[in-house]
Structure 1
Amino acid sequence: MKKKILSIMFAVAGMLSSCNDVLDIEDINNYNPQLVWNDANLANAYMANLYPMFGNWNPGADSYSQQLAGIQFYLDRVTISNDQFKSWNYGRIRLINQAIVDVNKGTLPEAVKNNITGQALFMRAYTYYDMVRHHGGVPYITVPQDRYSDDLFVARNSTKECFDLMIKDLDEAIAKLPQRIATTSPDFGKIDGNFALAFKAKVLLLKASPQFNPSNPWNNPYWADAYVVNKKAYEELKAQGYALAANYEDIALVERGPESVFTVINSYPNKTANWDNGVRPGSESRGPASATPTWEFVKEYPMKDGKLYSDPTSAYHMSEEEFLQNFWKNRDQRFNKSIVWNAKVYEVSGKAGKRQYTSLGIAHELDDFGVNPKAGVNSTNLDRYTGFFVLKNSLLKLAQAEVQQYDVDYVLMRFAEVMLNYAETANETGKLDEAMDILKQIRRRAGIEPGTDGNYGITATTREQMREAILAERNIEFAFEGHRFWDLRRLRMLDRLDGTTKHGVEAVAILPNGQEMPLSEARAKADKNELLEGNFRYSLLQVPRSGVKENVLPEKYYFFPIHRDVLDRNKSLEQNKEWGGTFDPTLE
């Protein structure tokens, strides 16, 4: 499909890029509103320069969770004086507020003004959402501030005020935006009312969450409000034709599909992403993979009947050792479509019948993982690899030299998220049957066996059990999409990451009698793609092999601190109470 690229006028970009954080009391460069807001092209260019805020494909998006290798949370990873996990983006807020005020002073048609205002209001709420989930309440600035005439020493709004203002902005945005931008429209990739409604539902889900309501996490009144809007988002989008993609692997790779609620447009050579270059084995990329799945995550995928391998009621139940030697068998199809393992058929770079090997002494040196002394060589990948690679959303047709041409459109929000957000609010308001229906739809698409009861392996009969079932489904459905850490944090379940370690799987080729296969024979067979998964013995290795090996996530990480430099420049700001201040970032 030929892609429509949002036109970006670099003259305007240069004019705006040096605007600084207004709350840091920095000089704000002037621009000419009469020039920008009386010309539709310049006005659209101004807005287009804000759209990078929505990001792009990030191979390491789930490195903060158990899904990917790497110990991200070492002791004191977050402090008051470092830049880790800080979100204080008032430079962007300044540009957004300028647009909201100035567009209405220009001579553009009213419909154009409304559309630009709607986009800007959404962007403001979206930016504050990120700041609030990091820190709790922040100064909610809604007008461009003037260095000389305004009081820039602004105090923090309460967290409740911030949520109320986000919802107000989103409601006004929904009223001004087109309900849906067609996939065939040149405006596809811009914010529409459906995205705004779905995001409003997500904001209310966060508001109701245990993160913001620690003393009443599951029975606070915000759950009822969240349920109403999440159900509305689900039903309205479904009525317009949004749906789960027929095949899990097609969600992003078949662009502009029925599951895409909001999409960031990529198009080579104008705009590309680093996904394939970050997830492919080194021998098929421009360097070592930067994101590799862990054994811990491999174990969390269900079997074909929707139950875990360790569940005695599963038709595919195995002991720990049996599972280690047969982990690729009878799995949820999302496992097969998301992860590459040793000896799996992996037709990357258009290589028909190619199998991917990771065994030390057999695999390419940029792909291997292991410590087998008989290999006669040391792996250089022990601190970054796991014996697994990411397959999900990979554009396999790209040759090795082309991996940096990856330009699959980035699906920021998809209908499955709308569905599972709705399921969560339904469950917490006592509507287990509605939550169950959503999970069954997700699992049916995944190809899980329905079972004799038609429940696709879901056995939850209480609110607590359904809560765990929904969280487990989000973990698998949104693999490598950057949800897991933030889900655990808003649910106050970071203890599930605290103190954890990570592991990979080493593969050693064996003969039918179980003895190690001579490496010369193994290499010859591997060169012809003749070694299958069952021709190896598997063992666990902790990763990384050196340095910090255990995650440390203290209780105070449910709200991150305001940076000391920000506090020093604005004495009206209070620090969060978990970090030595007096500000309560919760809703209590």
Structure 2
Amino acid sequence: MKKTVIALALFAGMFASCKKVLDIDNINSYNPDQVWNDENLANAYMANLYSAFGNWSASEDRFSEQLIGIALPKDFVTVTNGNFKSWDYSRVRLVNQALVEVSKGKLSDNARKGITGQALFLRAFLYFNMVKYHGGVPYVKVPQDKDADDLAVPRNSTAECFDFIIKDLDDAIALLPERILSSSPDYGRIDGSFALAFKAKVLLYKASPQFHSSNPWNNADWATAYTVNKKAYDDLKARGYRLVDDYSNIALVERGPETVFPVINQYPSKTAAWDNGVRPGSESRGPASAVPAWEMIKMFPMKDGKRYNDPTSIYFKTDEQFLQSYWQNRDPRFDKSVVWSGKSYPVSGKLGKRLYTSLGIADVQDDFGTNPDAKTNSTNLDRYSGFFILKNSLLRLTQAQVLQYDVDFVYMRFAEVMLNYAETANETGRPAEALDILKQIRMRAGIEPGLDGNYGINATDRATLREAILTERNIELCFEGHRFWDLRRLRLLNRLDGTTKSGVEAIPINTDGSNMPLDVARNKANANELTEVNFKYVLHQVPRSGVKVNTVPATYYFFPIHKDVLDRNPNLKQNIGWADGTFNPTLD
């Protein structure tokens, strides 16, 4: 292929060395000979490939219990639709092109090494995503020519793909700088620390039940995963990575020591839609696209680290008691992740403002409920829950500025590295190491240590500690897009099957418990005088339009390859369980 066409996605400040690219004419189409003899153009080419990492997405957890909505209706995934398909060979070809051409160019040795290391990492990254979806795929390592090459390549086995991924990552680590400091003009590029942490994650997946259905917990891959995950934890810690002191600052204070890899955002060149997706409609450009479900609200532990209905908790409550006081004595991460009716919410820089969601009191773009005293119907019963996401929201942005959200997207942070390590330690008979990690995370969260110093963790064996780690992942990484993939990796999607979701209506009440007249409540709300104790709470199923449940068949542990792809390549085989498929995507 003589010409390479690049839809350039540069943004100010990502790579300081790329700035001169903006001065070059006709940047969207040029000869590879030009690209690989000019360091600025070569870096621009690589910057374009970084789009593979994505950006902030408010609805990333819509397939789990964390957000409302039934995102997995019956037959959501088929062989003919585009849902849960990953076949990124266009980008793979660009990576392979870089690996071939950079060796021919006249770049400096350092530039060549850096670009080669990044390209090797990106190839492993792209193939891992495809393997995570489908199992083994054709692992093509050269830029194929559609006119000269045979494109009907068969699938490599899943085991072969993992071997190739690890080889690419090892080769990348050998070439990349150990760590790119936050003060460096190259901050935002792939470095050896991220590559090592990602390798550890790949090996965690390889060992997990998704790929070992017949021997999920005692297969030999757990030992390898432990060795590399411990190395990633130890090495990154030695290089200065750590948990930030305040959970609120995991992303909002950029370039912090917890960030292992960021996607750099900078207004106006590159922004994200996070705040536009999580704010109530009255403070955004439309209704929130993602709101927490009551089922997720209940999952956050109490201040002592135990569930609200745990009889051993000093904050024990019945279900009804909890419903009427769910905001009290919670894990501090709850207060930093969720906003609810009556809570202080200085959005748009409005100091003293509280959020209200009550029908007849709140702005019609924010309300939720069926209170007959309001003599009107909420238009939000199928899309809201009475809760909104606070985590990583940039509250200083005004409503007019909500699309200017440019907080760096934290693709991987040290807390995930720690939890990956904890999981492999537990599965290889090292519960003390796993428990120590959980304690560190809960200590940072602000959970009370308790008399036993275990921060509410009651794990007496491998299985209960496994569950404690999964629970901690759910809370610590909430709304960051991990939950569905964790359940799938552990073959626990049955926890989603048949589930409904709920929201909570807040109805204003007088001190004697009687309903407060809405005109009185409205005046108090306008003055931000109503707090959580001035409401009673009622559960509603969401969405309310008919009875809908999540349907999650066992075949979702490996998604099918699209029929169009199979039709174009007769040498490809479909996965077992899909349309007479014969390919085994597991490592069994």
In which range does the TM-score fall when normalised by the shorter chain? over 0.9
Q: In structure 2, what is the equivalent of residue 105 of structure 1?
A: 104
Q: Alignment partner of 1:257: what SS?
A: coil
Question: In 2, distance between residues paired with 1:35 and 1:222?
Answer: 45
Residue 109 of structure 1 deviates from its aligned partner by 1.1
Identity among equivalent pairs (%): 67
Question: In 2, distance between residues paired with 1:276 and 1:13?
Answer: 32
Q: Which amino acid aligns with 2:587?
A: L
Question: In 1, distance between residues paired with 2:380 and 2:222?
Answer: 46
Residue 5 of structure 1 deviates from its aligned partner by 3.0
1:159-308 correspondence runs (5 A): 159-308=158-307
Q: Does 1:375 align with 2:384?
A: no
Q: Does 1:509 align with 2:514?
A: no
Q: In structure 1, what is the equivalent of residue 359 of structure 2?
A: 360
Contact 1:12/1:45 (<8 A) preserved: no
1:317-356 correspondence runs (5 A): 317-356=316-355
Residue 13 of structure 1 deviates from its aligned partner by 6.4
Q: Alignment partner of 1:229: what SS?
A: helix
Q: In structure 1, what is the equivalent of residue 145 of structure 2?
A: 146
1:512-527 correspondence runs (5 A): 512-527=511-526
Question: In 2, distance between residues paired with 1:273 and 1:198?
Answer: 25
Q: Which amino acid aligns with 2:317?
A: M
Question: In 2, distance between residues paired with 1:335 and 1:291?
Answer: 17
Residue 455 of structure 1 deviates from its aligned partner by 0.6
Question: In 2, distance between residues paired with 1:555 and 1:69?
Answer: 22
Q: In structure 1, what is the equivalent of residue 5 of structure 2?
A: none
Question: In 2, distance between residues paired with 1:535 and 1:48?
Answer: 52
Residue 147 of structure 1 deviates from its aligned partner by 2.2
Contact 1:361/1:377 (<8 A) preserved: yes
Question: In 2, distance between residues paired with 1:219 and 1:407?
Answer: 44
1:382-531 correspondence runs (5 A): 382-531=381-530
Q: CA 1:13–1:172 in 2, change beyond 3 Å: closer, same or farther?
A: farther
Q: Alignment partner of 2:209: what SS?
A: coil
Question: In 1, distance between residues paired with 2:397 and 2:196?
Answer: 36
Farther-moved stretch of structure 1 (350-359 vs 229-238): 350-359
Question: In 1, distance between residues paired with 2:487 and 2:12?
Answer: 36
Question: In 2, distance between residues paired with 1:429 and 1:510?
Answer: 54
Q: Alignment partner of 2:173: what SS?
A: helix
Q: In structure 1, what is the equivalent of residue 75 of structure 2?
A: 76
Q: Which amino acid aligns with 2:307?
A: L
Farther-moved stretch of structure 1 (540-549 vs 261-270): 540-549
Q: In structure 1, what is the equivalent of residue 3 of structure 2?
A: none
Question: In 2, distance between residues paired with 1:208 and 1:325?
Answer: 43
Question: In 2, distance between residues paired with 1:12 and 1:178?
Answer: 32
Q: Alignment partner of 1:381: what SS?
A: coil
Residue 547 of structure 1 deviates from its aligned partner by 5.0
Alignment length (residue pairs): 572
Question: In 2, distance between residues paired with 1:359 and 1:12?
Answer: 55
Question: In 1, distance between residues paired with 2:148 and 2:587?
Answer: 33
The Cα offsets for residues 296-333 of structure 1, whole Å up to 9 and x where unpaired, read as 00000000000000100000000000000000000000
Q: Which amino acid aligns with 1:201?
A: A
Contact 1:264/1:409 (<8 A) preserved: yes
Q: In structure 2, what is the equivalent of residue 88 of structure 1?
A: 87
Q: Which amino acid aligns with 1:459?
A: N
Contact 1:347/1:354 (<8 A) preserved: yes
Contact 2:12/2:269 (<8 A) preserved: no
Contact 1:490/1:558 (<8 A) preserved: yes
Farther-moved stretch of structure 1 (277-286 vs 441-450): 277-286
Q: In structure 2, what is the equivalent of residue 35 of structure 1?
A: 34
Farther-moved stretch of structure 1 (369-378 vs 472-481): 369-378
Contact 2:65/2:496 (<8 A) preserved: yes
The Cα offsets for residues 62-113 of structure 1, whole Å up to 9 and x where unpaired, read as 1110000111000000000000000000000000000001100011111111
Question: In 2, distance between residues paired with 1:412 and 1:246?
Answer: 19
Residue 34 of structure 1 deviates from its aligned partner by 1.2
Farther-moved stretch of structure 1 (299-308 vs 280-289): 280-289
Question: In 2, distance between residues paired with 1:550 and 1:489?
Answer: 18
Residue 546 of structure 1 deviates from its aligned partner by 1.1
Q: Which amino acid aligns with 2:237?
A: K
Q: In structure 1, what is the equivalent of residue 4 of structure 2?
A: none
Question: In 1, distance between residues paired with 2:300 and 2:465?
Answer: 17
Q: In structure 1, what is the equivalent of residue 583 of structure 2?
A: 583
Question: In 1, distance between residues paired with 2:285 and 2:255?
Answer: 28
Question: In 2, distance between residues paired with 1:438 and 1:289?
Answer: 35
Q: CA 1:224–1:256 in 2, change beyond 3 Å: closer, same or farther?
A: same
Contact 1:74/1:548 (<8 A) preserved: no
Q: Which amino acid aligns with 2:479?
A: F
Contact 2:276/2:288 (<8 A) preserved: yes
Question: In 1, distance between residues paired with 2:434 and 2:338?
Answer: 28
Q: Alignment partner of 1:151: what SS?
A: coil
The Cα offsets for residues 136-175 of structure 1, whole Å up to 9 and x where unpaired, read as 0000000111223321100000000000000000000000
Q: Does 1:60 align with 2:71?
A: no
* Structure 1 unmatched runs, 5+: 16-30
Contact 1:12/1:46 (<8 A) preserved: no
Question: In 2, distance between residues paired with 1:217 and 1:385?
Answer: 38
TM-score normalised according to structure 2 size: 0.96
Q: CA 1:444–1:13 in 2, change beyond 3 Å: closer, same or farther?
A: farther
Question: In 1, distance between residues paired with 2:115 and 2:529?
Answer: 58
Q: In structure 2, what is the equivalent of residue 573 of structure 1?
A: 572
The Cα offsets for residues 400-455 of structure 1, whole Å up to 9 and x where unpaired, read as 11111111011000000000000000000000000000000000000000001111
The Cα offsets for residues 235-289 of structure 1, whole Å up to 9 and x where unpaired, read as 0000011000100000100000000000010111111110111101111111111
Q: In structure 2, what is the equivalent of residue 555 of structure 1?
A: 554
Q: Alignment partner of 1:344: what SS?
A: coil
Q: In structure 2, what is the equivalent of residue 19 of structure 1?
A: none
Question: In 1, distance between residues paired with 2:564 and 2:151?
Answer: 15
Contact 1:47/1:116 (<8 A) preserved: yes
Q: Alignment partner of 2:412: what SS?
A: strand
The Cα offsets for residues 362-399 of structure 1, whole Å up to 9 and x where unpaired, read as 11101100011110111111110000000000011111
Q: Which amino acid aligns with 1:497?
A: L
Q: CA 1:345–1:197 in 2, change beyond 3 Å: closer, same or farther?
A: same
Q: In structure 2, what is the equivalent of residue 4 of structure 1?
A: 13
TM-score normalised according to structure 1 size: 0.96
Question: In 2, distance between residues paired with 1:548 and 1:224?
Answer: 45
Q: Alignment partner of 2:103: what SS?
A: helix
1:14 to 28, 47, 57: 28
Contact 2:14/2:187 (<8 A) preserved: no
Contact 2:341/2:356 (<8 A) preserved: yes
Q: In structure 2, what is the equivalent of residue 21 of structure 1?
A: none
Residue 3 of structure 1 deviates from its aligned partner by 7.7
Question: In 2, distance between residues paired with 1:95 and 1:548?
Answer: 46
Residue 14 of structure 1 deviates from its aligned partner by 2.8
Residue 548 of structure 1 deviates from its aligned partner by 6.0
Q: Which amino acid aligns with 2:162?
A: F
Q: Alignment partner of 1:404: what SS?
A: helix
Question: In 2, distance between residues paired with 1:548 and 1:150?
Answer: 52
Q: Which amino acid aligns with 1:5?
A: M
Q: Which amino acid aligns with 1:4?
A: G
Question: In 1, distance between residues paired with 2:353 and 2:308?
Answer: 28
